[in-house]
Structure 1
């Protein structure tokens, strides 16, 4: 399988790299970096914030969902905000 050059890499840079193919014997020899370099610090996640949202299943009109999705990333948060605003307007403070 021939590798394809990414558009952001110049042809000269692409030609200057001589990478061996990653065949199954090469991949079988690979080991985790921590096993090969024990001095690397371990990956530790910090304290996690409590979940503040509850996953639900809800049926909405296709037009409503597609309109919100068309606004791009974060569309579910915008739906949440619209619902919060409605609750405030109707005297159901959160």
Structure 2
């Protein structure tokens, strides 16, 4: 039993097809992350912070505004 003839691509046509496929399916490389916009001096930024439970309880005892109280205590400790 003989094999059916296979179609051979010329090297340049196949290479061109593979290059076209790669350029269409590959994500562009990011050289470096875009620069972060400068924060406004009085703007607040959301962060995640782990605190001891007793410290958190102390600031939350005063009711609403506990995050502002923590911010004020941190500013005082930093000398700002």
TM-score normalised to the size of structure 1?
A: 0.39
Higher RCO structure (Cα 8 Å, ≥6 apart): 2
